[in-house]
Structure 1
Protein backbone atom coordinates (compact mmCIF):
# COMPACT_ATOMS: atom_id res chain seq x y z
CA UNK A 1 0.00 0.00 0.00
CA UNK A 2 1.35 3.41 -0.99
CA UNK A 3 0.55 6.64 0.83
CA UNK A 4 -1.10 7.35 4.15
CA UNK A 5 -3.14 4.65 5.83
CA UNK A 6 -6.73 5.31 6.83
CA UNK A 7 -7.57 6.45 10.34
CA UNK A 8 -10.22 4.66 12.35
CA UNK A 9 -13.72 6.04 11.91
CA UNK A 10 -15.86 6.81 14.92
CA UNK A 11 -18.04 3.72 14.33
CA UNK A 12 -14.89 1.56 14.38
CA UNK A 13 -13.71 3.17 17.62
CA UNK A 14 -17.02 2.35 19.29
CA UNK A 15 -17.00 -1.16 17.83
CA UNK A 16 -13.54 -1.77 19.29
CA UNK A 17 -14.61 -0.34 22.67
CA UNK A 18 -17.68 -2.59 22.69
CA UNK A 19 -15.63 -5.65 21.71
CA UNK A 20 -13.00 -5.00 24.40
CA UNK A 21 -15.68 -4.52 27.05
CA UNK A 22 -17.58 -7.62 25.90
CA UNK A 23 -14.37 -9.66 26.06
CA UNK A 24 -13.61 -8.33 29.56
CA UNK A 25 -10.27 -6.90 28.49
CA UNK A 26 -9.95 -4.16 31.10
CA UNK A 27 -6.29 -3.36 30.40
CA UNK A 28 -6.76 -3.25 26.64
CA UNK A 29 -9.80 -0.97 26.94
CA UNK A 30 -7.83 1.44 29.12
CA UNK A 31 -4.88 1.30 26.70
CA UNK A 32 -7.14 1.93 23.69
CA UNK A 33 -8.99 4.82 25.35
CA UNK A 34 -5.77 6.45 26.56
CA UNK A 35 -4.26 6.11 23.07
CA UNK A 36 -7.29 7.87 21.59
CA UNK A 37 -7.28 10.74 24.07
CA UNK A 38 -3.54 11.34 24.15
CA UNK A 39 -2.71 10.69 20.48
CA UNK A 40 0.76 9.75 21.75
CA UNK A 41 3.22 7.63 19.82
CA UNK A 42 3.28 4.03 21.02
CA UNK A 43 6.71 4.49 22.65
CA UNK A 44 5.33 7.35 24.79
CA UNK A 45 2.02 5.63 25.54
CA UNK A 46 3.50 2.40 26.90
CA UNK A 47 5.96 4.28 29.15
CA UNK A 48 3.28 6.30 30.95
CA UNK A 49 3.49 5.92 34.70
CA UNK A 50 0.56 5.97 37.10
CA UNK A 51 1.86 9.25 38.56
CA UNK A 52 1.67 10.87 35.12
CA UNK A 53 -2.12 10.73 35.16
CA UNK A 54 -3.10 10.27 38.83
CA UNK A 55 -3.08 12.93 41.57
CA UNK A 56 -4.40 12.42 45.10
CA UNK A 57 -6.01 9.13 44.10
CA UNK A 58 -7.94 10.71 41.21
CA UNK A 59 -7.30 10.45 37.49
CA UNK A 60 -6.54 13.89 36.12
CA UNK A 61 -8.65 15.50 33.43
CA UNK A 62 -5.42 16.75 31.80
CA UNK A 63 -1.93 15.31 31.75
CA UNK A 64 1.43 16.45 30.43
CA UNK A 65 4.44 14.39 29.41
CA UNK A 66 7.67 15.01 27.51
CA UNK A 67 7.76 13.10 24.23
CA UNK A 68 10.74 10.79 23.79
CA UNK A 69 11.33 11.57 20.12
CA UNK A 70 10.98 15.36 20.13
CA UNK A 71 11.82 16.04 23.79
CA UNK A 72 8.91 18.48 23.77
CA UNK A 73 6.17 18.61 26.39
CA UNK A 74 2.73 17.61 25.21
CA UNK A 75 -0.50 18.10 27.12
CA UNK A 76 -3.65 16.08 26.52
CA UNK A 77 -7.15 15.87 27.89
CA UNK A 78 -8.38 12.67 29.51
CA UNK A 79 -12.10 12.30 28.85
CA UNK A 80 -14.55 10.87 31.34
CA UNK A 81 -14.87 7.66 29.29
CA UNK A 82 -11.12 7.17 29.45
CA UNK A 83 -10.93 8.07 33.15
CA UNK A 84 -13.54 5.37 33.85
CA UNK A 85 -11.70 2.68 31.88
CA UNK A 86 -8.30 3.64 33.31
CA UNK A 87 -9.77 3.75 36.83
CA UNK A 88 -11.16 0.21 36.36
CA UNK A 89 -7.76 -0.99 35.10
CA UNK A 90 -5.80 0.65 37.93
CA UNK A 91 -8.19 -0.74 40.56
CA UNK A 92 -7.65 -4.19 39.07
CA UNK A 93 -3.89 -3.71 38.62
CA UNK A 94 -2.92 -1.81 41.76
CA UNK A 95 0.55 -0.32 41.99
CA UNK A 96 2.29 2.86 43.09
CA UNK A 97 2.66 6.22 41.36
CA UNK A 98 6.12 5.23 40.08
CA UNK A 99 4.85 2.06 38.36
CA UNK A 100 4.05 1.87 34.66
CA UNK A 101 0.33 2.00 33.87
CA UNK A 102 0.77 -0.90 31.46
CA UNK A 103 3.45 -3.23 32.84
CA UNK A 104 5.10 -6.03 30.93
CA UNK A 105 3.76 -9.46 31.74
CA UNK A 106 7.37 -10.59 32.15
CA UNK A 107 8.39 -8.02 34.77
CA UNK A 108 6.44 -5.50 36.83
CA UNK A 109 9.47 -3.20 36.59
CA UNK A 110 9.26 -3.05 32.78
CA UNK A 111 6.53 -1.59 30.60
CA UNK A 112 4.46 -3.16 27.83
CA UNK A 113 6.59 -3.27 24.70
CA UNK A 114 5.83 -1.19 21.63
CA UNK A 115 5.74 -4.34 19.47
CA UNK A 116 3.21 -5.92 21.82
CA UNK A 117 1.14 -2.73 21.68
CA UNK A 118 1.24 -2.87 17.86
CA UNK A 119 0.14 -6.54 17.93
CA UNK A 120 -2.73 -5.66 20.27
CA UNK A 121 -3.82 -2.81 18.01
CA UNK A 122 -3.81 -5.15 15.00
CA UNK A 123 -5.90 -7.66 16.99
CA UNK A 124 -8.47 -5.01 17.97
CA UNK A 125 -8.78 -3.74 14.42
CA UNK A 126 -9.15 -7.26 13.05
CA UNK A 127 -11.77 -8.11 15.69
CA UNK A 128 -14.14 -5.52 14.22
CA UNK A 129 -13.66 -6.75 10.66
CA UNK A 130 -10.99 -4.36 9.41
CA UNK A 131 -7.68 -5.24 7.78
CA UNK A 132 -4.83 -4.15 10.09
CA UNK A 133 -2.40 -3.51 7.22
CA UNK A 134 -4.79 -0.91 5.78
CA UNK A 135 -5.21 1.00 9.01
CA UNK A 136 -2.91 3.68 10.35
CA UNK A 137 -2.52 5.21 13.76
CA UNK A 138 -5.33 5.23 16.29
CA UNK A 139 -6.72 8.81 16.03
CA UNK A 140 -10.16 9.01 14.45
CA UNK A 141 -10.70 10.55 11.06
CA UNK A 142 -11.01 14.29 11.39
CA UNK A 143 -8.71 14.51 14.41
CA UNK A 144 -5.32 16.11 14.14
CA UNK A 145 -2.42 13.74 14.63
CA UNK A 146 0.85 14.76 16.17
Structure 2
Protein backbone atom coordinates (compact mmCIF):
# COMPACT_ATOMS: atom_id res chain seq x y z
CA UNK A 1 0.00 0.00 0.00
CA UNK A 2 1.38 3.40 -0.97
CA UNK A 3 1.05 6.75 0.73
CA UNK A 4 -0.31 9.99 -0.64
CA UNK A 5 2.26 12.66 -1.35
CA UNK A 6 -0.08 15.04 0.44
CA UNK A 7 -0.05 13.03 3.69
CA UNK A 8 1.69 15.43 6.11
CA UNK A 9 2.67 12.59 8.45
CA UNK A 10 4.84 11.13 5.67
CA UNK A 11 6.64 14.30 4.65
CA UNK A 12 9.65 13.78 6.91
CA UNK A 13 9.65 9.99 6.88
CA UNK A 14 13.01 8.51 5.82
CA UNK A 15 12.87 5.20 3.91
CA UNK A 16 14.31 2.29 5.93
CA UNK A 17 16.80 1.51 3.15
CA UNK A 18 17.99 5.07 2.56
CA UNK A 19 21.77 5.15 1.90
CA UNK A 20 21.97 1.40 2.49
CA UNK A 21 23.06 -1.37 0.16
CA UNK A 22 20.17 -3.83 0.14
CA UNK A 23 20.76 -7.45 -0.80
CA UNK A 24 23.42 -10.10 -0.38
CA UNK A 25 26.69 -8.94 1.15
CA UNK A 26 29.82 -9.51 -0.89
CA UNK A 27 32.25 -12.29 0.02
CA UNK A 28 35.86 -11.31 0.64
CA UNK A 29 38.64 -12.06 -1.83
CA UNK A 30 41.88 -13.82 -0.86
CA UNK A 31 43.70 -10.48 -1.02
CA UNK A 32 41.16 -8.84 1.29
CA UNK A 33 41.39 -11.73 3.77
CA UNK A 34 45.14 -11.29 4.09
CA UNK A 35 44.79 -7.50 4.31
CA UNK A 36 42.48 -7.87 7.33
CA UNK A 37 44.81 -10.45 8.90
CA UNK A 38 47.76 -8.08 8.45
CA UNK A 39 45.79 -5.24 10.05
CA UNK A 40 44.79 -7.35 13.06
CA UNK A 41 48.31 -8.74 13.53
CA UNK A 42 49.83 -5.27 13.30
CA UNK A 43 47.43 -4.03 15.99
CA UNK A 44 48.16 -7.05 18.20
CA UNK A 45 44.50 -8.06 18.36
CA UNK A 46 44.71 -11.77 19.11
CA UNK A 47 41.01 -12.17 19.89
CA UNK A 48 39.88 -10.45 16.72
CA UNK A 49 42.33 -12.42 14.57
CA UNK A 50 41.02 -15.68 16.05
CA UNK A 51 37.41 -14.56 15.60
CA UNK A 52 37.99 -13.53 11.99
CA UNK A 53 39.82 -16.75 11.12
CA UNK A 54 37.19 -18.92 12.77
CA UNK A 55 34.39 -17.06 10.97
CA UNK A 56 36.04 -17.72 7.60
CA UNK A 57 36.80 -21.41 8.21
CA UNK A 58 33.59 -22.33 10.03
CA UNK A 59 31.22 -20.62 7.59
CA UNK A 60 28.82 -20.21 10.52
CA UNK A 61 26.07 -17.64 11.00
CA UNK A 62 26.99 -14.95 13.52
CA UNK A 63 24.49 -16.29 16.09
CA UNK A 64 26.24 -19.69 16.06
CA UNK A 65 29.78 -18.33 15.87
CA UNK A 66 29.58 -16.19 19.01
CA UNK A 67 28.16 -19.08 21.06
CA UNK A 68 31.02 -21.50 20.41
CA UNK A 69 32.52 -22.89 23.60
CA UNK A 70 36.13 -23.85 24.21
CA UNK A 71 35.14 -27.53 24.39
CA UNK A 72 33.80 -27.31 20.82
CA UNK A 73 37.26 -26.44 19.50
CA UNK A 74 39.72 -28.07 21.89
CA UNK A 75 40.68 -31.69 22.41
CA UNK A 76 43.27 -32.28 25.10
CA UNK A 77 45.91 -29.58 24.73
CA UNK A 78 45.37 -28.95 21.02
CA UNK A 79 42.83 -27.26 18.77
CA UNK A 80 40.76 -29.75 16.75
CA UNK A 81 41.20 -30.12 13.00
CA UNK A 82 37.42 -30.55 12.70
CA UNK A 83 34.58 -29.33 14.86
CA UNK A 84 30.80 -29.54 14.97
CA UNK A 85 28.06 -27.29 16.35
CA UNK A 86 24.27 -27.37 16.42
CA UNK A 87 22.81 -24.55 14.34
CA UNK A 88 20.38 -22.25 16.09
CA UNK A 89 18.30 -21.68 12.95
CA UNK A 90 17.78 -25.31 11.92
CA UNK A 91 18.56 -27.26 15.08
CA UNK A 92 20.78 -29.50 12.95
CA UNK A 93 24.50 -30.19 13.36
CA UNK A 94 27.04 -28.78 10.94
CA UNK A 95 30.72 -29.70 10.74
CA UNK A 96 33.62 -27.54 9.66
CA UNK A 97 37.36 -27.82 9.20
CA UNK A 98 40.03 -25.79 10.98
CA UNK A 99 43.13 -25.24 8.86
CA UNK A 100 46.61 -24.95 10.36
CA UNK A 101 46.81 -21.13 10.29
CA UNK A 102 43.39 -20.87 11.93
CA UNK A 103 44.31 -23.41 14.60
CA UNK A 104 47.43 -21.37 15.35
CA UNK A 105 45.51 -18.11 15.81
CA UNK A 106 42.89 -19.85 17.96
CA UNK A 107 45.57 -21.48 20.10
CA UNK A 108 47.30 -18.12 20.64
CA UNK A 109 44.02 -16.50 21.71
CA UNK A 110 42.95 -19.37 23.98
CA UNK A 111 46.34 -19.33 25.72
CA UNK A 112 45.82 -15.66 26.57
CA UNK A 113 42.12 -16.05 27.30
CA UNK A 114 42.38 -19.01 29.70
CA UNK A 115 39.16 -20.34 31.16
CA UNK A 116 37.45 -23.72 31.38
CA UNK A 117 36.11 -25.93 28.61
CA UNK A 118 32.48 -25.00 29.24
CA UNK A 119 33.12 -21.27 28.76
CA UNK A 120 32.62 -19.34 25.53
CA UNK A 121 35.61 -18.78 23.26
CA UNK A 122 34.66 -15.12 22.79
CA UNK A 123 33.17 -13.75 26.03
CA UNK A 124 31.08 -10.60 26.37
CA UNK A 125 32.84 -7.38 27.34
CA UNK A 126 30.11 -6.72 29.93
CA UNK A 127 29.69 -10.14 31.50
CA UNK A 128 32.52 -12.66 31.06
CA UNK A 129 30.15 -15.56 31.73
CA UNK A 130 28.14 -14.67 28.60
CA UNK A 131 29.21 -14.83 24.98
CA UNK A 132 29.95 -11.88 22.71
CA UNK A 133 26.76 -10.43 21.22
CA UNK A 134 26.01 -10.65 17.52
CA UNK A 135 25.80 -6.85 17.52
CA UNK A 136 29.35 -6.56 18.85
CA UNK A 137 30.51 -9.07 16.25
CA UNK A 138 28.84 -7.03 13.49
CA UNK A 139 30.52 -3.85 14.75
CA UNK A 140 33.90 -5.57 14.65
CA UNK A 141 33.35 -6.73 11.06
CA UNK A 142 32.44 -3.15 10.10
CA UNK A 143 35.69 -1.98 11.67
CA UNK A 144 37.80 -4.62 9.93
CA UNK A 145 36.49 -3.99 6.43
CA UNK A 146 36.68 -0.22 6.87
CA UNK A 147 40.31 -0.54 8.02
CA UNK A 148 41.33 -1.97 4.65
CA UNK A 149 39.39 0.56 2.62
CA UNK A 150 36.16 -1.33 1.88
CA UNK A 151 32.67 0.14 2.12
CA UNK A 152 31.01 -1.35 5.16
CA UNK A 153 27.59 -1.00 3.49
CA UNK A 154 28.68 -3.71 1.04
CA UNK A 155 30.12 -6.12 3.61
CA UNK A 156 28.91 -7.68 6.84
CA UNK A 157 28.99 -10.81 8.97
CA UNK A 158 27.45 -12.82 6.13
CA UNK A 159 30.40 -11.80 3.96
CA UNK A 160 32.61 -13.91 6.21
CA UNK A 161 30.13 -16.80 6.11
CA UNK A 162 29.97 -16.68 2.31
CA UNK A 163 33.69 -16.20 1.62
CA UNK A 164 35.07 -19.74 1.77
CA UNK A 165 31.83 -21.25 0.47
CA UNK A 166 32.03 -19.02 -2.62
CA UNK A 167 35.67 -19.96 -3.18
CA UNK A 168 34.88 -23.67 -2.92
CA UNK A 169 32.00 -23.34 -5.38
CA UNK A 170 34.09 -21.40 -7.89
CA UNK A 171 36.88 -23.99 -7.65
CA UNK A 172 34.67 -27.10 -7.87
CA UNK A 173 31.17 -26.18 -9.03
CA UNK A 174 29.93 -28.63 -6.39
CA UNK A 175 26.74 -27.14 -4.97
CA UNK A 176 25.94 -30.20 -2.86
CA UNK A 177 29.26 -29.95 -1.04
CA UNK A 178 28.71 -26.24 -0.35
CA UNK A 179 25.16 -26.97 0.86
CA UNK A 180 26.54 -29.44 3.42
CA UNK A 181 29.26 -27.04 4.56
CA UNK A 182 26.78 -24.18 5.04
CA UNK A 183 24.26 -26.42 6.78
CA UNK A 184 21.43 -25.51 4.41
CA UNK A 185 18.41 -27.83 4.47
CA UNK A 186 17.58 -27.18 0.79
CA UNK A 187 19.95 -26.82 -2.14
CA UNK A 188 17.72 -24.02 -3.47
CA UNK A 189 18.83 -21.97 -0.47
CA UNK A 190 22.46 -22.57 -1.40
CA UNK A 191 21.84 -21.52 -5.00
CA UNK A 192 20.18 -18.32 -3.83
CA UNK A 193 22.82 -17.70 -1.15
CA UNK A 194 25.74 -17.97 -3.57
CA UNK A 195 23.95 -16.00 -6.25
CA UNK A 196 24.32 -18.81 -8.76
CA UNK A 197 22.76 -17.86 -12.11
CA UNK A 198 22.59 -19.04 -15.70
CA UNK A 199 25.97 -17.46 -16.47
CA UNK A 200 27.64 -19.63 -13.79
CA UNK A 201 25.94 -22.73 -15.19
CA UNK A 202 27.04 -21.97 -18.75
CA UNK A 203 30.62 -21.25 -17.68
CA UNK A 204 30.82 -24.61 -15.92
CA UNK A 205 29.35 -26.35 -18.97
CA UNK A 206 31.86 -24.68 -21.30
CA UNK A 207 34.75 -26.03 -19.24
CA UNK A 208 33.44 -29.59 -19.33
CA UNK A 209 34.65 -31.64 -22.28
CA UNK A 210 32.94 -34.90 -23.20
Q: Judging by fraction of residues, say which structure has more helix.
A: 2
Q: TM above 0.5, one fold?
A: yes
The runs of 5 or more residues in structure 2 that have no matched partner are 1-20, 169-177, 183-210
Tell me by how many angstroms 1:106 deviates. Answer: 1.1
1:21 to 17, 41, 44: 41
Q: TM-score, normalised by structure 1?
A: 0.95
Tell me by how many angstroms 1:3 deviates. Answer: 3.5
- CA 2–106 in structure 1, closer or farther in 2 if over 3 Å, else same: closer
Tell me by how many angstroms 1:2 deviates. Answer: 4.1
Tell me by how many angstroms 1:107 deviates. Answer: 1.2
Q: Judging by fraction of residues, say which structure has more strand.
A: 1
Aligned equivalents of 2:123, 2:24: Cα separation in 1: 31
Aligned equivalents of 2:59, 2:23: Cα separation in 1: 20
Structure number with bigger Rg: 2
The runs of 5 or more residues in structure 1 that have no matched partner are none
2:125 to 105, 121, 124: 105
Query: Which position in structure 2 is the counterpart of 1:46?
Result: 66
* Moved segments of 4+, more than 6 Å: none
Q: TM-score, normalised by structure 2?
A: 0.67
